[in-house]
Amino acid sequence: MPEFLTLLPPDQAREKLLAHLSTLKSDPDLVDVIHALDRVTAADIFAPHPLPDFPRTTVDGYAVRAQDTFGASDSLPAYLHLIGEVPMGDSPSFEIGAGQCALIHTGGMLPKGADAVVMLEYTQTVQASEIETFKAVADGENLIRVGEDVAQDQLVILKGTILRPAEIGGLMALGITKLRVANKVRIGLISTGDEVVDPNKTTKHGQVRDINTYTLGSLVEKTGGEAIRYGIFGDDFEVLKDAAARALSECDVVLITAGSSASTRDMTAEVIRQLGEPGVLVHGINTRPGKPTILGVCNGKAVIGLPGNPVSALVNGYLFVVPLIEKLLGALPRPKATVMARLTVNLSSQAGREDWQPVKLVVNRQSSIVNYDAEPIFGKSNLIFTLAAADGLLRIHPDATGLSAGEVVEVVLI
């Protein structure tokens, strides 16, 4: 029977695991930017030209010399000679001189001589070739100058950036349609247990369908990994060891679910010990759910044993698998999405243990402090819809013995 000699806090356990690992060394993938969402950049990216590379207006109106509008007001408008219209998508063929203006539309290129734009609503047509403006504008008003977004050769995206829609748009604006990204981390998934069967099968009494392979596989792929499913293996040490060894040879990380509880049927820890050095680093995390989680490294690759209970496995996937993948990808640290909410009921906890409680967020229209109420979802760790009904996880700090109803708490969105 395995022993939980020392239950480490989750943060300490995670640091111990990551300290034994480094960013994967492999040739980066060259991909089309349109397919690069959520991928991690493999190199710094510099702007090949300024953005924008011509001065352009941000409003519909008239391109002017700002000095020609000084002092203009409702009672004393400035009169300007209209000399033309700026063509969209092309350079204007004329130049703005003293007392002149040109009609221009949002995004249009500012003509030479002009240094500001008067918004259309502050003007009035006097005759075909003359307008009056009731508002003065300053030099640079209502326009974007050359390089105001980024300058030529400016570092625009750091190596290790997880690409979001904004970065995708920025790359396209610069004409960068392909880039190098880190290879996806290959994660081997092994599910164990004589009672576990494929979801496609009709269960008999005493059997349960495999959940963890699919919840963890989805989490892996969402985080930037590639899930390699090796199937379900019964409670046979040699069979499990052979499957884990194969997965370890073919993948960057191996996840084994079930077989990590404190029982005579636990084989995962011994399998990890025999797969390579240093073997098991942590056996037991001082958290709920997921106390029997095992963290190991075998010959430079992480091997993690997660509890068989679906909620425990997935919660600890967020705590350990996600940061592991980000470390291997070389991803820069970024804050997790959280919201502040008002706790609706009292929650008890054991001092010294870190608890993660699933909660549902409900819009609170009465509070002037927070926008949501956090309603805990209670259920045992083998009930997957306990987590499916949740919007986030609430952390109860190990120094606390619980939280009180009405407290404002931070909820990590999932």
Rounded to whole angstroms, the Cα distance separating 251 from 328 reads 12
Rounded to whole angstroms, the Cα distance separating 24 from 252 reads 8
Rounded to whole angstroms, the Cα distance separating 80 from 134 reads 11
CATH code, residues 29-48+159-181:
3.90.105.10
Rounded to whole angstroms, the Cα distance separating 56 from 65 reads 14
The reported pTM is 0.87
According to CATH, the topology of domain 56-144 is Molybdopterin biosynthesis moeA protein; domain 3 (2.170.190)
Domain with CATH 2.40.340.10 in the chain: 338-409
CATH code, residues 338-409:
2.40.340.10
According to CATH, the topology of domain 10-26+183-329 is Molybdenum Cofactor Biosythetic Enzyme; Chain A (3.40.980)
Rounded to whole angstroms, the Cα distance separating 228 from 383 reads 25
User: Is there a contact between 115 and 65 (Cβ–Cβ < 8 Å)?
Assistant: yes
Domain with CATH 2.170.190.11 in the chain: 56-144
Length of the chain: 414
pLDDT tens for the chain, 414 residues: list them: 445 557 899 999 999 999 999 999 888 999 999 999 999 999 999 999 999 999 999 999 999 999 999 999 999 999 999 999 999 999 999 999 999 999 999 999 999 999 999 999 999 999 989 999 999 999 999 999 999 999 999 999 999 999 999 999 999 999 999 999 999 999 999 999 888 999 999 989 988 899 999 999 999 999 999 999 999 998 889 999 999 999 999 999 999 998 554 553 478 999 999 999 999 999 999 999 989 999 999 999 999 999 989 999 999 999 999 999 999 999 999 899 999 999 999 999 998 899 999 999 999 888 788 999 999 999 876 788 888 999 999 999 999 999 999 999 999 999
